[in-house]
Structure 1
Amino acid sequence: MFEELRRHHINLAQPRLGAEVVHATDDFFADKARLIDPAEPVFIPGKYDENGKWMDGWESRRKRVPGHDWCVIRLGVPGLVAGFEIDTRHFTGNYPPGAELEVCRSVGAMPNDEAGWTKVTPRLALKGDDRIYVPVEHREPVTHIRLNIFPDGGVARLRVWGRVAKDWSTVDCDKRLDLLAMENGGRGIIANDEHYGSIENLTAPGRGVNMGDGWETRRRREPGHDWAILELGRPGIIDEVVVDTAHFKGNYPDRCILQATADASGTPEEIAAAAESWPVLLPEVKLSADSVHTFREEIVSLGPIRFVRLNIIPDGGVSRLRLFGRVVR
């Protein structure tokens, strides 16, 4: 279930997309902000703070009155939610036995009870030091998530799997945008290798913060080259390609080629098989270490495209891929 959520969606509750935990009824033992930390949760033996054992997640105190604890996450961009991942790793005697999730759409940073909260899961049974994956059916874009825990305790991480729901009706067709940007709905579909870094990072906002914040493959010891397939947030005509190898110095690809198409369908594996014969958008170009490479004149006119295949020769790491152009309605 996790692989299906991950392969078809992104985590909408990413701080780099602007997501934030805006409220918690109680975070006495562990700061609510840690709930959406992109790093894997850790346990540090012997680490304490002024309130007790330091835990990597959100943890409320033991409740001595009726009721339950809850927190609210504001997504950085509106999204269509497909499922949730609730992670209680390292919480063993202090996890909540139950949880429930609600969603709403609100212009305010912190919605009130009049915001039209919709329950999208039943009461879920949780275990300690565990992860559960919960698909949901909700067809409307949302901006906020409310995680209710019963009655109290700690949750290491919450991931909100879905797709960005950008309102393209408000976008001027003459405006140039990075149509592959995560905040515009761009996403990675499949790569032949993600040993050191996910293809999702290629579409992330800003420049990579370090070598781990990019897509990097293992060292290739056989013939061929590595590749990744991505989907633009909206079909468009591309007039500029930016390949950023920030932080990749002894492990950047020597060259790259971009292929593209307007339409693709099927499973990720079926799309990958068809992509081998897609027409070339950017012919083979040379890359260098830790640099922003901008290509304009080299781009082949293919008309509107929606999917791209980035071929890196022979292997290595790329921090970001940007495809600038204009939306086609």
Structure 2
Amino acid sequence: LQFGNRDALHAVTPQTGFEIASLSKSIGTCFVMEQLRKAGIPISTSVNMLFAKSGSKFRIRSLDAAHPEWADQVTVAHLMSHQALNMHYVNGVPANQAFPPIVELLNGNQRHGYEPVGVVNAPGTRFQYSGGGFLVLQHLIECMGGAPVHVQMSTFLRELGMNGCTFREDALLGSECATGFLDSGEMVVGTRKVFPAIAAGAVASAADMARFLVALSNAHQSISGCGPISHETAVRMLHGSDKGCREFMGCAMGLGIFTAEAGPNRLAIHQGANDGFRAMFVHCYAGPDAGNGFVVLCNGEHAGMLFVAEAAQIILRHTGVRGVDTGQFRTDLEFGGIPLEQRVNAGYRELVFAACAADLPEQIIAHGPRDPLADFNHAVGARVEAVSNQRFARAENLLSPHLPTFDPSLFGRQGKIMDSWETVRHNPEPFDWMIFEMPRATAVSCVAVSTQFHLGNHAEGLAIDGWDAVRGEWQAIVAPMQLYGHAAHAAQSVSGDAQFRRIRVRMYPDGGVTRLALYGMDLPATERTRMLSPATRAWPSFDPQTKKPMTPKYMATAAEISANITRVGSGMADLASAAFGGQVVSASNEHYSPATQVISPYPPLSMVDGLESARSREPGHSENVVIRLGRPAKIGRIDLDFSHFVNNNPREIEIDGLRGTEWVPLVARTDVKAFAGNVIAFEAGGVGPCEQIRVTVFPDGGMNRVRVYAAP
């Protein structure tokens, strides 16, 4: 759908190019990631190291004199995720003027309003929107590739069918390009401004941008990728985290792209704002509405942003994307107190993305009996204000007035359904947290904490604080206390007569906690004595295993295995599969499910249908599984399938092959956290012949299948 005028004399056509502003970052990031992947360079590589190898004299500098070491700690991934550098937006140059070399802008250019680019935060610790990071990224790829970025990208864009898209930093004379307009109705000087290519400089039609998003979404779903976009690049780009990004945009931050939950759907998002232009895309890349989305481009400024937001609201109402509560859409946002450089992201955050619902685990429906002490528990009836993570089980369960229940056969989309608060594995922060507000302020005399039914996945520690509104700070109610699996814990408060209404619970470092009770002086003395003597006691043992099989078992005779191999002929077979004679030799930890399932030839059905270890807490910990192949072979490809491990796949993996008596490396230690709920493939390059493989996970986690492809 296109309408309106591109300039005073011409109407918009399907071929009209608009400045897509910061939407350029998504396309540029994807291209750079593919170039680095082909060169075998991890995105965790130091940027200054790559500049040194490329011959560039430019180096990132720390702008904090107390931390000069930050400069060499900046990685390519930090540039793509806004987690290191300064310079919110980049400035443009009138299209009728020559565009300066990128390195001149990096070092500071007073004429065009550029400050020197440098590090402002410890890399990787905090989100701070940085167009400057993408200036560095462009200079890096141009140094490494030996050509301007628009020249390097031309084949990439053509393979995606984006024939009207260009990253050229010039006036694009002769092209059908829209003119930029200010809110006053005046034309932008020079008809439009030219911006640094990857940061904000691409010109494209809405259809071209949509083609990129469709390809990215398809590559995320297919292990074979889509056109020039590999599966690995798509998955890593769309793996979001929050280091302050939700406050900025209401979304998580991937690599060069924002991501958001909309109930069961996952959305890829970016906004754009250049002088005289505004832009936005929203595309569902996973979930029941996968493949649906829209791109809105216009040549206006603040009024253009309001138009884009209203168009997004109309489209989302019409398409009915699940997980978007259109009843939450607003039209009354006041921008007076919002800084100019944040009005675009704040506007879209409040007018559009605030309507996206979190993807919560299943609600507990079958409650246990009411806790006999529920009437004394001041946390009952509290309202959860905020929570860092509740992907496994809802934070509200922690405050339930009912005794917890456990059904070993009950699984949901997020994994095992637990009547507790449970967070995902491998929290990168010291603790997970939740904040809730009680019905009324009260003094807390003692607390009770239960980890019932959590054994091997319980939190190791817990602390409780109350908000002191007078001092404006959190005050300790219970200092960090050690927790044990499937146990009841109690502690006296250290807050005396101080009354609190807002409570913060800190869970160290992650895991599950079943119930929390905050008692005042009205708790009967006999109950208080019983609770505190002893302060920790184990709950009666329980059986976590189901009484009926939840996974199909596969057994093959020697004759069946031989017949399977014969059918493959000279093709590739999964020699780790039991169907081709694969056998599990050993597994270091099978706490939740047996290793034999990872070699099943059947598609996995659930989290139980795979190998899962307990949560570990020791630094440097690892677990492994060893598989004997159906026959010795030179390994071509290894797939690890985490389809049903959406919250508890490993953080990293490493794979070795046994050749004779020597273990040889097949896959170096690799971060696989982004592949939760997905599959990752590794090319082994024909190493072998190997008789066995060993998959090592760091520090722990689960996988559904291990597949090893080779010619039998």
Report the TM-score range of the alignment, normalised by the length of the smaller protein: 0.3 to 0.5
Which has more radius of gyration?
2
Task: Decide which structure has greater strand share.
Answer: 1
Task: Decide which structure has greater helix share.
Answer: 2
Q: Which has the higher contact order (CA 8 A, sep 6+)?
A: 1
TM-score (norm 1): 0.43
